[in-house]
Chain A
Amino acid sequence: MIETTAAPFPTIRLRPWLGIIAVAAAAIATWMALVWAPTDAVQGDVYRVIYVHVPAAWLAYLAFFIVFLASVGWLWTRRPWFDALAVSSAEIGVLFTGVFIVAGSIWAKPTWGVWWTWDPRLVTTTVMFAMYLGYLLLRSLSTDFARRATRAAVLGVIAVVDIPIVHLSVLWMNSLHQLPTVARIGAGPSLDASMGMTLGISVVAFTLVYFALLIERMAIERGRQGRILESSRATSDSLARSESTSRVTTSG
């Protein structure tokens, strides 16, 4: 049985504050990235793209992992809240993936000499982008709420496999892309401390932005779900009434 009421989102009071804090954190992170952090000895200033490219990539991973958890939640409990969380997180994950691919391409031109190359990291990332874009498109193929949510949840569970493939692709295959500099298996970060701190603040800022967007997107989705489920309940009530009327008429 699917719940048909769209209860207010529990963190409704957090919304404006989280947005303000996220914007402030983003401003601080951008100042640190463009002004405070030192210039890289090898790449010069262009390395500063790392402070938007890497956090956006990590948040895309997080967003898609949350899609996975929410998809399991929907399949397990059939609560529409999980479906709202999954679609909201997937949409933001696609946004973050799109912007980090473009930012990466802009970084590639002065460092690799090309905008794009068929490198394993770039290809697996593009596959991830296409999979979650497909996830969003799949949702438009059915008007039945439960069927649509279930199909999307199955894809949400399968697609998560691509996250470790994207991250580890630079270790598994010969790659032009830089090896992991922070999340290194069996070793600490290979960044200078002040660069690491700037990257850390940037990750915090992007995380706040992600949750601020997620709360807004979920509020929209919960409202939409409430209207859809109320409408389908009204239709089934009306059908039940007309069936019982026709039964009375026939027997009379």
Chain B
Amino acid sequence: MVSENFGFIVAAYAVVWGGIAVYAWSLARRRGGG
């Protein structure tokens, strides 16, 4: 299980997948807006 440097690992995953999720959401909005 993950334990050591937990904060750094969570931060890196949050940045990458969070960034992609926000971009996907912005695409959905742009499509919705025409």
Contact = CB atoms under 8 A, between A and B. Distances in A.
B5 A46 contact: yes
B4 A52 contact: no
Interface string A63-107: 000000000000000000000000000001001001110110011
A134 interface: no
Interface string A186-225: 0000000000000000000000010011001101100100
Interface string B4-34: 1110110111011101100110011011001
Contact of A213 (B8, B23, B34): B23
Given A213-B23, A213-B27, A220-B27, A45 B16 contact: no
A53 B24 CA distance: 19
Nearest to A95: B23
A45 B27 contact: no
Contacts of A39: 4
B17 A26 contact: yes
Categorize the interface residue count of chain A: 20 to 34
Interface residues of B, number: 23
Contact of B19 (A45, A99, A216): A99
Contacts of B11: 106
Given A49-B8, A49-B12, A99-B15, A216 B2 contact: no
A134 B24 CA distance: 22
Contacts of B3: 45
Given A102-B15, A106-B11, A44 B20 contact: no
Nearest to A101: B15
A99 B5 contact: no
A48 B9 contact: yes
B30 A103 contact: no
B2 A45 contact: yes
A53 B16 CA distance: 8
Contacts of B28: 216
A35 B2 contact: yes
A219 B16 contact: no
A98 B19 contact: yes
B9 to A, nearest CB: 5
Which 5 residue pairs spanning A and B have beta carbons closest together?
Answer: A46-B5, A52-B16, A99-B19, A103-B12, A44-B4
